[in-house]
């Protein structure tokens, strides 16, 4: 199986500018591709992880990766998929964020000689002359065509600012600049970047006549169409100081039954032949598969030692110490509304509290955790899926453990 065929089999490819040409390019190891990361936060998150995994697949086949940190584009709000304008960061904050990215990327990509290179588009964007930019780049863009892009249509419903309108031109210029400077012939990104990628490929063809390719990967969604990567406490970060390896492991261990196989295909390097065998499993038999998924993804991001430690700690919750003789409750179908149950209802239904008032006080005092993730908001809700299989563990205080199943 070629690398392109494997990417398709894993469900990673969403759109391509020319499938046959891209297949030939990456299967022969002749792609010099770039993936961009705007440093709008102190850490990369699960969405960024998908870009890194796709890049690693391509890198393993001999293709060269250029990793772009958007020190320039991060100063201009990207309208893609947003209903509100993205906050505008200071140069100092952007520089600080970039500093932490490389060590996180090195867990997935090889930056040895001939592997991947990191560049910062602030090096060429911040010194651009605006009039020259309009004459050299802006002249090639049709406003009518730009407004047909999904990213702009979404923002226009809420008010599209002129600064956001420039983002597509800047990203397109990045592709053109990298093509001229480093021989980049393909851009990779999430499917929400499709319009920006097309704009860059078109700019290169108009200015140089050279071929330029684009490929987008599938966004990581649950079976019911929700974007993965969120927990009760917020985003799942790659930085171990923001999301610990154990919390990171637990996130993947708690993936729903309907999502575990697809997630393993997209987020790990486990051979497809092995994953196909897992597709035969159902119910409780999927628990070892979820454990394997969590271990493999944690190993990619935090290393094998941290993944092993998280695996052992997770097993201990279910099989040793205070949790050894854990009482359990089975939730009924009518305990859920649209497959959702609130934390206060959960505590009452499982008998951990006698009333919602007591449940509220416990949550507000920080005395409740679910699967070792503290619940601090009384409005927190949980999806039915996390109680399937061997259930979820609720901890009340430091010593009371209770397993909830469906």
pLDDT in tens, 163-177: 777 888 999 999 999
Predicted pLDDT of residue 323: 46
Local structure of residue 89 (DSSP, 8 states)? P
Helix residue ranges, H only, 149-282: 150-156, 162-165, 167-182, 194-208, 245-253, 260-267, 272-278
The verdict on whether 60 is a catalytic residue reads no
The verdict on whether 242 is a catalytic residue reads no
Q: How far apart are CA 382 and CA 374, in angstroms?
A: 13
Predicted pLDDT of residue 72: 87
Predicted pLDDT of residue 324: 45
> Which letter, b or e, does each residue of 37-75 get, where b requires 16 or more Cβ atoms within 10 Å of its Cβ?
bbbbbebbbbbbbbbbbbbbbbbebebbbbbbbbbbbbb
Q: What is the mean pLDDT of residues 153-172?
A: 78
User: What CATH number did the domain enclosing 42 receive?
Assistant: 3.40.50.620
Predicted pLDDT of residue 69: 92
User: What CATH number did the domain enclosing 364 receive?
Assistant: 3.10.290.10
Same domain? 299 vs 213: no
Same domain? 182 vs 243: no
Q: Which of 16, 154, 231, 380 is catalytic?
A: 231
Same domain? 261 vs 204: no
The verdict on whether 337 is a catalytic residue reads no
Among 286, 319, 352, residue at a domain's last position: 319
Higher-scoring residue by pLDDT: 159, 54: 54
Least confident of 28-32, 68-72, 290-294: 68-72
Predicted pLDDT of residue 65: 94
Cα→Cα distances 358→355, 372, 396, Å: 5, 20, 12
Give pLDDT tens digits for 320-360: 444 445 678 899 999 999 989 999 999 999 988 889 999 99
Cα→Cα distances 372→233, 253, 299, 313, Å: 12, 12, 20, 10
Same domain? 181 vs 309: no
Q: What is the mean pLDDT of residues 144-148?
A: 79
Higher-scoring residue by pLDDT: 285, 300: 300
Q: Which of 38, 192, 257, 345 is catalytic?
A: 192
Q: What is the mean pLDDT of residues 269-276?
A: 96
The verdict on whether 227 is a catalytic residue reads yes
Return mean pLDDT, the chain. 87
Q: Per-residue pLDDT for 84 more than 70?
A: no
Predicted pLDDT of residue 243: 86
Give pLDDT tens digits for 309-324: 989 888 876 654 444 4
Q: Per-residue pLDDT for 141 more than 90?
A: no
Number of compact structural domains in the chain = 3
Q: How far apart are CA 339 and CA 375, in angstroms?
A: 19
The percent of residues above 70 in pLDDT, for the chain, comes to: 92
The verdict on whether 45 is a catalytic residue reads yes
Range of the domain at 15: 3-217
Among 217, 251, 284, residue at a domain's last position: 217
Same domain? 96 vs 166: yes
Of 405, 370, 389, the C-alpha closest to 259 is 389
Q: Which of 8, 23, 56, 82 is catalytic?
A: 82
Q: Per-residue pLDDT for 150 more than 90?
A: no
Confidence of residue 198 (pLDDT cuts 50, 70, 90): very high
Predicted pLDDT of residue 81: 52
Same domain? 160 vs 291: no
Q: Which of 86, 205, 240, 356 is catalytic?
A: 86
Q: How far apart are CA 393 and CA 359, in angstroms?
A: 16
Local structure of residue 108 (DSSP, 8 states)? T
Q: Which of 171, 187, 263, 268 is catalytic?
A: 171
Predicted pLDDT of residue 96: 85
Predicted pLDDT of residue 86: 60
Higher-scoring residue by pLDDT: 405, 86: 405
The percent of residues above 90 in pLDDT, for the chain, comes to: 45
Planar angle of CA 299, 301, 305, nearest 5 degrees:
40
Give pLDDT tens digits for 220-249: 888 778 878 765 556 888 998 888 898 899
Q: How far apart are CA 376 and CA 269, in angstroms?
A: 35
Give pLDDT tens digits for 124-140: 999 899 899 889 988 88
The verdict on whether 80 is a catalytic residue reads no
Q: Which of 45, 253, 265, 290 is catalytic?
A: 45
What is the reported pTM?
0.76
Higher-scoring residue by pLDDT: 48, 27: 27
Q: What is the mean pLDDT of residues 63-91?
A: 76
Match 């997770």 to its residue by tokens: 314
Q: Per-residue pLDDT for 296 more than 50?
A: yes
Predicted pLDDT of residue 321: 42
Same domain? 227 vs 173: no
Same domain? 103 vs 199: yes
Q: Which of 17, 38, 48, 57 is catalytic?
A: 48
Give pLDDT tens digits for 365-386: 989 988 878 898 999 999 898 8
Higher-scoring residue by pLDDT: 28, 284: 28
Q: Per-residue pLDDT for 303 more than 60?
A: yes
Cα→Cα distances 177→173, 205, 302, Å: 6, 13, 33
Higher-scoring residue by pLDDT: 100, 249: 249
What are the beta bridge partners of residue 135? none
Of 5, 96, 118, the C-alpha closest to 57 is 5
Q: Per-residue pLDDT for 264 more than 90?
A: yes
Q: Per-residue pLDDT for 77 more than 70?
A: no
Same domain? 104 vs 169: yes
Q: Which of 10, 17, 40, 263 is catalytic?
A: 40
Among 201, 217, 233, residue at a domain's last position: 217
Cβ count near 336 (within 10 Å): 20
Inter-residue contact 236 to 251 (CB < 8 Å)? yes
Predicted pLDDT of residue 59: 92
Same domain? 253 vs 199: no
Same domain? 110 vs 24: yes
Same domain? 35 vs 130: yes
Predicted pLDDT of residue 114: 63
The verdict on whether 349 is a catalytic residue reads no
The verdict on whether 51 is a catalytic residue reads no
Higher-scoring residue by pLDDT: 154, 107: 107
């Amino acid at each position: 199986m070629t690398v392109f065929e494997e990417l398709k089999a894993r469900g990673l490819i969403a759109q391509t500018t020319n499938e046959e040409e891209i297949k030939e390019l990456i299967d022969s190891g002749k792609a010099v591709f770039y993936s961009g990361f705007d440093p709008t936060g102190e850490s990369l998150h699960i969405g960024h992880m998908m870009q890194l995994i796709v890049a690693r697949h391509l890198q393993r086949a001999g293709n060269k990766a250029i990793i772009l940190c958007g020190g320039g584009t991060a100063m201009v709000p990207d309208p893609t998929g947003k209903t509100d304008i993205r906050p505008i960061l200071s140069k100092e904050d952007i520089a600080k964020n970039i500093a932490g990215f490389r060590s996180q990327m090195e867990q997935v990509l090889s930056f040895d000689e001939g592997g991947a290179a990191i560049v910062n588009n602030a090096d060429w964007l911040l010194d651009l002359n605006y009039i020259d930019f309009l004459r050299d780049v802006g002249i090639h863009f049709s406003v009518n065509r730009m407004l047909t892009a999904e990213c702009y249509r979404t923002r226009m419903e809420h008010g599209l600012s002129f600064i956001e309108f420039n983002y597509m031109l800047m990203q397109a210029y990045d592709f053109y600049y990298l093509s001229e400077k480093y021989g980049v012939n393909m851009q990779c990104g999430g499917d929400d970047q499709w319009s920006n990628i097309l704009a860059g490929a078109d700019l290169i063809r108009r200015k140089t006549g050279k071929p330029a390719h684009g490929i987008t990967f599938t966004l990581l969604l649950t079976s019911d169409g929700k974007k993965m990567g969120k927990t009760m406490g917020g985003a799942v970060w790659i930085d171990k100081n923001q999301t610990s390896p154990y919390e990171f492991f637990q996130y993947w261990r708690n993936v729903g039954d309907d999502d575990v196989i697809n997630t393993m295909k997209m987020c790990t390097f486990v051979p497809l032949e092995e994953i196909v065998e897992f597709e035969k499993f159902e119910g409780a038999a999927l628990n070892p598969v979820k454990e394997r998924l969590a271990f493999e993804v944690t190993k990619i991001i935090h290393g094998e030692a941290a993944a092993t430690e998280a695996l052992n700690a997770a097993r201990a919750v279910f099989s040793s110490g205070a949790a050894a003789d854990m009482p359990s409750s089975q939730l009924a179908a009518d305990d859920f509304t649209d497959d959702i149950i609130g934390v206060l209802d959960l505590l009452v239904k499982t008998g951990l509290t006698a009333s919602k008032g007591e449940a509220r006080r416990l949550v507000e005092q920080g005395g409740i955790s679910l699967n070792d993730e503290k619940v601090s908001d009384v409005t927190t809700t949980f999806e039915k899926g996390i109680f399937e299989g061997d259930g979820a563990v609720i901890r009340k205080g430091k010593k009371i453990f209770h397993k909830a199943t469906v």
